[in-house]
A and B are shown apart, each in its own frame.
Chain A
């Protein structure tokens, strides 16, 4: 099983993702520079966090035009699992692979802290092994993670079960106090209509080993490995 970690100028969570995929999950993992177009040799594609192109213009706006986006889009169309984490989520949204938009946090502050997420669906490759309603403890680190969608789109996301995670209290209640950044309906992660492309602001790769304070992030990687293994 082969995993790709896409690397853009300004990616900075690429090594964390590589470490978890390669050393924790034991996958054959490669860094792939954004100039490459062919990702057909991979089973799992990860678009990591960072500050691609210095967040110029809008987060992810430049990265969406990198050649590797052609490869990501092509493999996504084939149904392969693709996950965008933090800036990776912003890139997939800008590139049109995921719906909505991510704007500045309502506090206008960069937030770096552990948060709680309620798993809203097990029907994606990355949450297939996580029961619906389960609360995960996973950190966030972003300035622009405030999820926005127009009312029609929001309804569509809910109707199609495309909301993957919501920010919640440790007990799993979705409240405004538990919403760190102002995201509409506490949305922390979504998937595409075909369900194989997932984007999320929290960082599962930062909490996949006991030494790091939580192992909840590992559940996402285990899910996708089992999904690909069939």
Chain B
């Protein structure tokens, strides 16, 4: 089973990389781009678990390690059974 995990900075937390990229896009002429926020994309493979078990495990590992709930939000999706 394969899952995709997305970890992003929470609203209200400064994300300086995204801001720098937005400035660069402005320099390229893309003045329509008003916001860029960079996060993390993590691929997780699981073995020998039901879909429900996998969801529980993913929720747990996001809280314990993959994301820092003080500054980051996370979401995940199971992309391969």
Interfacial residues, chain A to chain B (CB-CB below 8 A): 57-58, 61, 65, 94, 100-101, 103-108, 146, 148-150, 182
Contacts and interface: CB of A to CB of B under 8 A. Distances in A.
A101 B14 contact: no
A182 B70 contact: no
Contacts of A94: 68
B20 interface: yes
Nearest to B66: A57
B65 A182 contact: no
Interface of A is mostly: loop
A32 to B, nearest CB: 23
A103 B17 contact: no
A149 B12 CA distance: 10
B16 A104 contact: yes
Given A101-B70, A103-B71, A148-B71, A61 B65 contact: yes
Interface of B: 9, 12-14, 16-17, 20, 40, 65-66, 68, 70-71
A82 B70 CA distance: 22
A8 to B, nearest CB: 16
A148 B17 CA distance: 16
Contacts of A65: 65
A148 B16 contact: no
A108 B14 contact: no
A192 to B, nearest CB: 15
Nearest to B69: A101
